[in-house]
Amino acid sequence: MEGMAGQKSTLTWAVHISVALLVALWLFPTVGLLVSSFRTAEQISNSGWWSAFSAQKGQLPAIRISGEEHEDGGLYVIDGNLFGSAETTLSAWGTSSREPEAYEPDTEVELKDGWTISVAKSGDFRLTAPQSFEGERLPRVFATATTPPEFTLQNYKNVLFGTTAGAGVGQAFLNTLTVAIPATVIPILVAAFAAYALAWMEFPGRALLIAAVVALLVVPLQLALIPLLQLHNAIGIGKGYLGVWLAHTGFGLPLAIYLLRNYMVGLPKDIIENARVDGASDFQIFTKIVLPLSFPALASFAIFQFLWTWNDLLVALVFLGTDDDRLVLTARLVNLMGSRGGQWEILATSAFVSIVVPLIVFFAMQKYLVRGLLAGSVK
């Protein structure tokens, strides 16, 4: 028996390690994006996100000297510091792109027209000339330096409060909620009634209807856009919330009915039969018994439907339109990226801005999700 216990503990360790590996593998890409959202565009494209936490030694892009000139002993002088951070230390520098590491710190170097320049380890520089710098192009300095880790909240400021998007994000948030809440609840309600009818009521054509629902699970969404918008325009709904709700309802229904019916069929038969004998009508049985019992299944479908109405862009754009005061969050964030497509820092930041609510919903309702799915598909 002792051998078996030993075997068991190695096995437990193996399990811990495998799970840790699996989680790490799954988490890595997301963490990469999260870290990137706190870095500047330049940092993102110059070094990997995993190196963001350690000091980096490397050649910085050319830094142009700038500052106010003043006179000092007959010379015109500009002095200042090359770096934004006090912890950056210089190890070599140069003034030509061909020789970026030509000089040691503190060397004084002569440039054209009697100009001289020196750069210290700390990045302090001193540029001198016999004449005024007025109207002259100031030199560039190529620095090889060690820079400490640096993070910024600027990306989030831009996305949430920037001039092009800022004013609209709050409104877009409300718009998304206005789309997502009814687009989640309406299909559940409609599907619950239908699922009950398909599970517990006897009527001709039931099997055919179930087959049809299953068949419709697979219709690709892109097909439906044009015919449906045409229809909305023809019957006067046009573009608006009603249209979006109906569209999301239509697209979400097959899965909702499928999951809910599977769940309801599995409910104990006696309870329903007894209620029938006691003279309860189907409406009463449904609202008083079946609906409360089906809560886990309802909740799990609600999570899925909410997640995809929240993340949806296409349906909202087509059926709600692109008017400024009706843009949903995803559309607003996409517009932020400018006419020419994405930039990493904005993409990363907007991904996290839009993911927050779905994550909260997911973590809050996780236990229902599991229970609902369990009953819906486990036989």
Nearer Cβ to other proteins (48/72): 48
Q: Which two tokens stand for residue 28?
A: 């890595």
**Number of Cβ atoms within 10 Å of the Cβ of 243:** 22
CB atoms within 10 A of CB 24: 10
Between 51 and 75, whose beta carbon lies closer to other proteins? 51
Nearer to other proteins among residue 122 and residue 178 (C-beta):
178
What SS3 class is residue 91? strand
DSSP 101-130: T-B-TT-EEE-GGG-EEEE-TTSEEEEEES
Q: Which is nearer to other proteins, 193 or 295 (CB)?
A: 193
Quick one: 126 or 140, whose CB is closer to other proteins? Answer: 140
Question: Residue 223 burial (CB < 10 Å; 0-12/13-18/19+)?
Answer: exposed
At closest approach, how far in Å is the CB of 172 from other proteins? 10
344: three-class secondary structure by DSSP = helix
Grouping H, G, I as helix, E, B as strand and the rest as coil, residue 281 is coil
State the nearest-atom distance from the C-beta of 15 to other proteins, in Å.
5
143 close to 93: Cβ distance less than 8 angstroms: yes
Q: Among residues 119 and 315, whose Cβ is nearest to other proteins?
A: 315
**Two tokens at 350?**
């907007």
Distance of closest approach, residue 242 Cβ to other proteins, in angstroms:
7
Q: Which is nearer to other proteins, 76 or 251 (CB)?
A: 251
Shortest Å, Cβ 74 to other proteins: 28
Tokens 């979400």 belong to which residue? 252
What's the rounded Cα separation, in Å, for the pair 233 and 237? 6
**3-state DSSP assignment of residue 89:** strand
Q: Which two tokens stand for residue 154?
A: 């600027």
* In the complex, least distance from residue 294 CB atom to other proteins, rounded to whole angstroms: 14
Smallest distance, other proteins to C-beta of residue 9, A: 12
Q: SS3 of 82, please?
A: coil
The answer for residues whose C-beta is within 8 angstroms of residue 108's C-beta and 6 or more apart is: 116, 117, 118
Shortest Cβ 134–other proteins spacing (Å): 15
Minimum Å gap between C-beta 43 and other proteins is 10
Nearer to other proteins, 122 or 343 (CB): 343
